Amino acid sequence: MTQKRDRWPSQLIFIFAAVGSAVGLGNFWRFPFLVGKYGGGAFLLPYLIILIVMGIPLLIMEFALGQRLQQGAIGAFNKIHHKFSGVGLGTILCGCLVSCYYAVIMAWAIIYMFHSFNLGWGTDTKTFFFEQVLHVSSGAAEMGSFNLPILAALAVSWVLVYFCVWKGVESVSRVVAVTMPLPVAVLAVLTIRGALLPGSWDGVLYYLTPNFAALLDDDVWRAAMSQIFFTLTLGFGVMIAYGSYEKRDSDISRNALIVALINSGTSILAGFAVFTTLGFMSTVSGTPIEELAASGPGLAFVVFPKVLTLIPAPNLFAVLFFIMMVTLAIDSLFSLVEAVSATFLDRFPHMSKKVTSFYVCAFCFLGGIIFTTSAGIYYLDIVDHFVTGYGLVIMSLLQAVVVGWYYGADKMRDYINSVSSWKLGPWWSTSIRYIVPGCLTLLLLMSLYRDLTTPYEGHPPAILFGLGWGSVAAVLLVSGIFSYVSSQPEEAAEESASEE
């Protein structure tokens, strides 16, 4: 069976693909919106600290797990011990939930791509986004009707993803070679343009001035952590699956470091593009930056169109920019579809990748329909808050505990060091065994306390309960049952497998 496993054609392609998965709407849409929401420089410092303390060690761990055990997430944890297979399934389920709404943001980008030809957003980009594009309702309690253009664009998104993924590693490699280099060039142009606008410096100051008082606010830390997980695609089983297509002797720590640096570099650059423009918008309109920055999940769609209009050859650039957003979203999304398919194929080798990928795409499409209603952006924000704040955190916590304590952090570290050029010191084991689980538990308890005492963003409790807590509970329940079933005696597990 091992000889049939897909392989990356080269190390470079592996790095491209992992960067392709990491760099996505998380960098262009989520990062700037969190920086704005949590007060600019106040967010940046926790973000960087968490990147170093948890992000990089965990990315190394996920690559190592896949590469060492040569299995997708469920298979890898199942190999460590049957009763841990639920951890693998849980990560995959979190990924599916994120994909449901992630594709909706990609759908917005597709709609903007069409508006780019005539810069249809005009000068008031905020009203355009919320009213013309989203037909946003007054609050989460008012669901409103389905928005047909977004629904159609959502369907298009999934068709695109499906066609990119269905041939497996081979097609992934080809797509990423094109989608990877483009964004950096486009961002550089936008940043330079942004920097030349009057008022841009105020934006830069807002973005970079550290706010040490904010370090005491646990909400900022929670947001920073969720962003690191989201942006590095950690806790979704994706990096495990990608690692499993590597040969056992490929360099792990170097690759992880390259991926993490390129990814955060892109986010920080995107931040410059957004905040220089915000500084300008604030100067022109007289509205304080803080107020403009607080557009929440709509920020990228308010700010980027604005700066695009101010560039020479705006139409061309705008089209290029939104094509880029769409391609960035595609390679992040198909990394998930790939991870889920890999996992299923490990278990049911007779199924074909085309079939499993189709089911994943169809499932996530259906799950995303609710986000195309007039209250979609609120629902999206709620599910994002809960799935990244709890689902991912719990799954990553369990992963670190299983690898650190059950499999053995030092055993894994010896393996990593035997193949890598950058040798990890004992700090890595300490991080996986103590620091990561400790910090995650602490943040988990603090956010539990906060979310149980104050409803997130003041949304109606029934909606928070159904969409937010409900999603988290579903993931935990299904994974728990799966672990229980998988840890039953071999014959029973065999039987249920052959029934499928």
Nearest-approach distance from CB 211 to ligand TRP, in angstroms = 24
Which of 113, 111, 100 lies closest to 161 in space, CA to CA? 100
CB neighbour list of residue 42: distance below 8 Å, 6 or more residues apart = 210, 211, 213, 214, 215, 217, 220
Alpha helix positions (H), 23-72: 25, 31-37, 41-50, 56-69
Is residue 445 exposed (0-12), middle (13-18) or buried (19+ Cβ within 10 Å)?
exposed
Nearest-approach distance from CB 61 to ligand TRP, in angstroms = 16
Nearest-approach distance from CB 294 to ligand TRP, in angstroms = 22
Q: Between 25 and 76, name the residue whose CB sits nearer to ligand TRP.
A: 25
Q: Between 214 and 256, name the residue whose CB sits nearer to ligand TRP.
A: 256
Measure the CA–CA gap between 25 and 270, rounded to whole angstroms: 11
Cβ-closest position to ligand TRP:
26
Task: Give me the half-sphere count of Cα atoms (radius 13 Å) on the Cβ side of residue 485.
Answer: 13
Measure the CA–CA gap between 422 and 412, rounded to whole angstroms: 14
Q: Between 102 and 456, name the residue whose CB sits nearer to ligand TRP.
A: 102
CB neighbour list of residue 495: distance below 8 Å, 6 or more residues apart = none
Measure the CA–CA gap between 147 and 353, rounded to whole angstroms: 32
Give strand pairing partners of 373: 146
Measure the CA–CA gap between 348 and 352, rounded to whole angstroms: 9
Q: Between 13 and 336, name the residue whose CB sits nearer to ligand TRP.
A: 336
Torsion angle defined by CA atoms of residues 215, 220, 225 and 227, in that order, rounded to the nearest 10 degrees: -130
Under a CB-based contact definition with an 8 Å cutoff, are residues 116 and 343 in contact? Answer: no
> What is the binding site for ligand TRP (CB under 6 A)?
21-22, 24-27, 95, 98-99, 102, 230-231, 233, 236, 332-333, 336
Q: Between 332 and 399, name the residue whose CB sits nearer to ligand TRP.
A: 332
Nearest-approach distance from CB 235 to ligand TRP, in angstroms = 8
Question: How large is the C-alpha radius of gyration of the chain?
Answer: 22
Q: Between 98 and 220, name the residue whose CB sits nearer to ligand TRP.
A: 98
Nearest-approach distance from CB 168 to ligand TRP, in angstroms = 17
CB neighbour list of residue 319: distance below 8 Å, 6 or more residues apart = 113, 116, 117
Measure the CA–CA gap between 225 and 455, rounded to whole angstroms: 20
Q: Between 150 and 395, name the residue whose CB sits nearer to ligand TRP.
A: 395
Q: Between 98 and 382, name the residue whose CB sits nearer to ligand TRP.
A: 98
Under a CB-based contact definition with an 8 Å cutoff, are residues 265 and 26 in contact? Answer: no
Nearest-approach distance from CB 392 to ligand TRP, in angstroms = 9
Nearest-approach distance from CB 368 to ligand TRP, in angstroms = 11
Look at the chain and count its residues.
500
Give strand pairing partners of 146: 373
Nearest-approach distance from CB 102 to ligand TRP, in angstroms = 5
- Using alpha carbons only, give the angle 279, 283, 287 rounded to the nearest 5 degrees: 90
Nearest-approach distance from CB 117 to ligand TRP, in angstroms = 26
DSSP 146: B
Nearest-approach distance from CB 364 to ligand TRP, in angstroms = 9
Q: Between 160 and 409, name the residue whose CB sits nearer to ligand TRP.
A: 160
Nearest-approach distance from CB 334 to ligand TRP, in angstroms = 9
Q: Between 260 and 402, name the residue whose CB sits nearer to ligand TRP.
A: 260
Nearest-approach distance from CB 135 to ligand TRP, in angstroms = 25
Name the 3-class secondary structure at 373. Answer: strand
Name the 3-class secondary structure at 39. Answer: coil
Q: Between 26 and 66, name the residue whose CB sits nearer to ligand TRP.
A: 26
Q: Which helix (H) or strand (E) holds 420?
A: none
Nearest-approach distance from CB 34 to ligand TRP, in angstroms = 12
Q: Between 22 and 436, name the residue whose CB sits nearer to ligand TRP.
A: 22
Q: Between 150 and 214, name the residue whose CB sits nearer to ligand TRP.
A: 150
- Which CB contacts under 8 angstroms, 24+ apart, belong to 266-269? 266/23, 266/27, 266/183, 266/184, 266/187, 267/26, 267/27, 267/31, 267/231, 269/184, 269/187, 269/188, 269/191
Measure the CA–CA gap between 388 and 474, rounded to whole angstroms: 14
